[in-house]
Amino acid sequence: MGLEGFAYPIQQRLRSFIECYRSISLYHRNLGFFCVGILGGSIWGSYERRGRDAANADCSAVRLTFYDLPAALSQPQQDSRPSNRERTDRQRKRAFENLWEEAARLLQRQPGYTYTQMFRRALVDEVVENAEQSNMVDAKQQRHRVGRKGVSAGIQFSNESEGAKREQQSVDYVELRVWESEESRSKADMLQTPLVQKIQELGVKMDAGLYRRVFDDALVRLIQ
């Protein structure tokens, strides 16, 4: 069968489609165009989404921000009747969360924004960590008291434990924000500068940077 044999069935189907289109009502025509638009939009949207995922596959526009609240803000409440200082700490912590939410809403409206994930330190983790550190301090102080005499040994150990506690302390909030490009991220960061300054005025320490993936070629060397 040559090309003419293939062309004839196509012509027949095309003619039948034209006749069917002319015979149907306007409602069914619009319904058909509506279905074709949905199908075409789904295909095009899937194509665009795969393109964005491929652009962000190297994590070049992923930014991590660590928020370390002061000890007074991140300390869990122990008494059912809070004092004035505890009320003030809760107000400052609520002020930090409100400022962060305001900045997040501002960035969501900027071009190039993809999504944001905020990880908060659980209160149970804080209680467990404080209990573990307290037990370690009590055990080490007991050993020092057995081996040494005098007050100076306890004071020296107290300073060392404070330094170790500061080194081992974890952050309270971790923010992960993804952008389509580094240019869009840098433009959006300039808009949230006033809000960032207000957050820093609360005593919150911020440490931000781009997320990078580091590949180790040790496995490749072993294979070779």
- Per-residue model confidence (pLDDT) at position 160: 41
* Residue 70 contacts residue 201 (beta carbons within 8 Å): no
Distances (CA, A) of 128 to 23, 30, 131: 76, 64, 5
Residue 110, both tokens = 């900027």
Retrieve residue 211's tokens.
């997320």
Res 101: pLDDT:
92
Question: Does the residue 51 lie in any domain?
Answer: no
Domain that holds residue 76: 58-121+170-212
The verdict on 39 and 62 lying in the same domain is: no
Q: Is the pLDDT of residue 50 over 60?
A: yes
Same domain, 116 and 130: no
| Residues found in the chain | 224
In a domain, 19, yes or no: yes
Q: Answer yes or no: is pLDDT of 141 > 70.
A: no
Q: Is 177 part of any domain?
A: yes
Q: Residue 20 and residue 45: Cα distance in Å, rounded?
A: 30
Amino acid of residue 203: G
Token pair, residue 184, equals 């869009």
Helix (H) or strand (E) holding 64: strand 62-68
How far, in Å, CA of 59 to CA of 56, rounded?
5
Together in a domain, 41 and 133:
no
Mean pLDDT lowest among 50-54, 56-60, 79-83, 141-145: 141-145
Question: How far apart are alpha carbons 64 and 207 in whole angstroms?
Answer: 8
Same domain for 182 and 103: yes
Q: Which long-range contacts does 74-77 make (Cβ < 8 Å, 24+ apart)?
A: 74/121, 74/126, 74/172, 75/126, 76/123, 76/126, 76/127, 76/130
From start to end of the chain, where are the E strands?
62-68, 113-120, 173-179, 205-210
pLDDT (mean) for 124-149? 49
Instruction: Tell me the two tokens of residue 152.
Output: 């100076």
Looking at the fold, whether 160 and 176 belong to one and the same domain comes out as no
- Least reliable range by pLDDT among 130-134, 163-167, 205-209: 163-167
Cα torsion 80, 85, 165, 133 to 10°: value is -20
Q: Are residues 67 and 113 in the same domain?
A: yes
pTM, two decimals, is 0.50
Domain count, the chain: 3
Looking at the DSSP bridge assignments, the partners of residue 115 are 178
Q: Is residue 52 part of a domain?
A: no
Q: Which residue has the higher pLDDT, 105 or 93?
A: 105
Q: Is residue 223 part of a domain?
A: no
pLDDT mean across residues, the chain: 72
Residue 112 is given by DSSP the state: T
Q: Quick check: 162 pLDDT over 80?
A: no
Q: Are residues 179 and 98 in the same domain?
A: yes
Place of tokens 């500061």: 166
Do 136 and 174 reside in the same domain of the chain?
no
Q: What are the CB-based long-range contacts (under 8 Å, 24+) for 94-102?
A: 95/202, 96/67, 96/69, 96/199, 96/202, 96/204, 99/195, 99/198, 99/199, 99/202, 100/67, 100/173, 100/175, 100/199, 102/195
